[in-house]
Structure 1
């Protein structure tokens, strides 16, 4: 089998079962995720071709683990090896679901263990976040709205750039809400608190529709690069002496929510994390014995 330089487009008359499975799997994704997963599958197909293996039929767990070892031998960090396996594992999982293979050879393949106690992103503590929000509003109303979307509602850079005026016009059960489409094209609805609404309304001005945050110079809708530049400008003006990115603000929103005592499940909803273990990485105080569950349980059953 020759390794395809691309998995799309293809000729239906000549496509192999392995390629069909790849095309079917990749059709589930779009944008950057599609690009990333296409790259990961091309790497898998190339390795199989070099080792005279069909990329789907006849693959066993040992082959998958040899590929994982190959990735490590290339000098990739353990976390990068795990990332490179996302598409490969999904590819086999759905090929099994679709009946193209009788068993999933990747389901029990051993991945490198990653020991991470905390997210490595440089966030902001409570006072730094307060200063960041205050300074942002003093630059332009667009900087202010962006800062609140990132630092309070924990939006990602692409999500904040995509917010439209119409997206926060609705009221649900007495709360003004923001509708957005998040990572993986998952829709989400979150409350807009009064300080955030004030910042958004100041940014909106007399406009009634269209993109909310506009570039401070161009007056055109911002993109992700503009968001990074605006955040860097706010951080510099606020005197924060380290690199601050849009994700630093999202990180700050999650860590400060946990520091404020927001339960892990509610912080997970704020962050829109599929796995609570991801949210746990942001909990800076989870080793604090004052917050240990035995205190609450003891108080609950203190009568015994």
Structure 2
């Protein structure tokens, strides 16, 4: 049994199980696989295998991670992964003891998402060249991401059948294959309509493809390519702040809260299954208020 469990294809079976049973995204599954492979590699160096792990082995690995300055957040993700792995092993009667049961997760501070001010966002949105097909496409993508609060993966995966220009909504398939309808907003709707009428056919190159936003080769754009485009326009705009692939999504959420949106509505728009995930944006709004007070109040 031990010989079987250590094989990397067994980890593949676990990952496949997660995909079939829970429909997790490729990025999430890739993270799980990476965590397990790194743990497995560490175990091999210490003459251990996954099926014979004891609680003290996991504790020693956590200590090794700490000594190597790996973040508490990535360690918490590792523990979530390894717990699910051993729960799966228990369910499959491969082991009789779960070594991760009594392991305590590291405490995480509140990690506030990086966002953009409204003026910075407006500047970024004005950068794409509307005299080129690429600029027209990029403008539509950035406008839609900011207007609807989409994840990057959601944005690049939109198919033609998922948008309704007449109703001004887009049907998004999010994490766990959960669907939600999100309003596009007037500016985003205008930009998408312009892209469809002035640029998309050029990207198609007489091919057939249902993906809304196409690469220069007429294929679905990658996350990396889109993120490169955003960084390019941020550089053009002179924006020096730290940006992440979800900066525009964070800006969408923060700006809505600043203008009076309630958390429940924001939760639905973002596609969060748990309201606690959405609440992080209240801290962003509070930090912004503190900053404004310090900058402009005579006794700040």
Query: Which TM-score bucket, shorter chain as reference?
Result: 0.7 to 0.9
Question: Relative to structure 1, is the Cα distance of residues 5 and 99 closer, same or farther in structure 2, using a 3 angstrom cutoff?
Answer: closer
Tell me the SS of whatever aligns to 2:87.
Answer: helix
Matched pairs, number: 271
Question: Aligned ranges for residues 8-157 of structure 1 at < 5 Å?
Answer: 8=9, 19=10, 22-27=11-16, 28-29=18-19, 31-51=26-46, 53=48, 55-56=50-51, 59-102=53-96, 104-119=98-113, 121=114, 123-136=115-128, 138=130, 140-157=135-152
Is 1:7 the counterpart of 2:8 in the alignment?
yes
* 2:165/2:189 contact within 8 Å kept: no
User: Over the residues paired in the alignment, what is the CA RMSD in angstroms?
Assistant: 3.4
More helix by share: 2
Question: Relative to structure 1, is the Cα distance of residues 108 and 178 closer, same or farther in structure 2, using a 3 angstrom cutoff?
Answer: farther
* 2:169/2:181 contact within 8 Å kept: yes
Question: 1:64-94 CA distances to partner (integer Å, 9 max, x unpaired)?
Answer: 3333223223332222222332321111233
Question: Relative to structure 1, is the Cα distance of residues 25 and 286 closer, same or farther in structure 2, using a 3 angstrom cutoff?
Answer: farther
Question: Aligned ranges for residues 117-266 of structure 1 at < 5 Å?
Answer: 117-119=111-113, 121=114, 123-136=115-128, 138=130, 140-169=135-164, 175-205=167-197, 210-215=210-215, 221-266=220-265
* 1:96/1:102 contact within 8 Å kept: yes
* 1:169/1:178 contact within 8 Å kept: yes
Question: 1:145-171 CA distances to partner (integer Å, 9 max, x unpaired)?
Answer: 111122121222232222232220387
* 1:179/1:187 contact within 8 Å kept: yes
The TM-score, its normalising length taken from structure 2, stands at 0.74
Tell me the SS of whatever aligns to 2:212.
Answer: coil
Question: Relative to structure 1, is the Cα distance of residues 289 and 158 closer, same or farther in structure 2, using a 3 angstrom cutoff?
Answer: closer
CA drift at 1:243: 4.8
How many angstroms apart in 2 are the aligned matches of 1:98 and 1:196? 49
* 1:165/1:204 contact within 8 Å kept: no
* Structure 1 residue ranges, 4+ long, deviating more than 6 angstroms after superposition: 2-5, 206-209, 287-290
Question: Relative to structure 1, is the Cα distance of residues 103 and 255 closer, same or farther in structure 2, using a 3 angstrom cutoff?
Answer: farther
* 1:161/1:221 contact within 8 Å kept: yes
What are structure 2's unaligned runs of at least 5 residues?
20-24, 202-208, 291-300
Alignment-derived partner of residue 285 in structure 1: 285
* 1:5/1:42 contact within 8 Å kept: no
Alignment-derived partner of residue 295 in structure 2: none
Question: Relative to structure 1, is the Cα distance of residues 107 and 185 closer, same or farther in structure 2, using a 3 angstrom cutoff?
Answer: farther
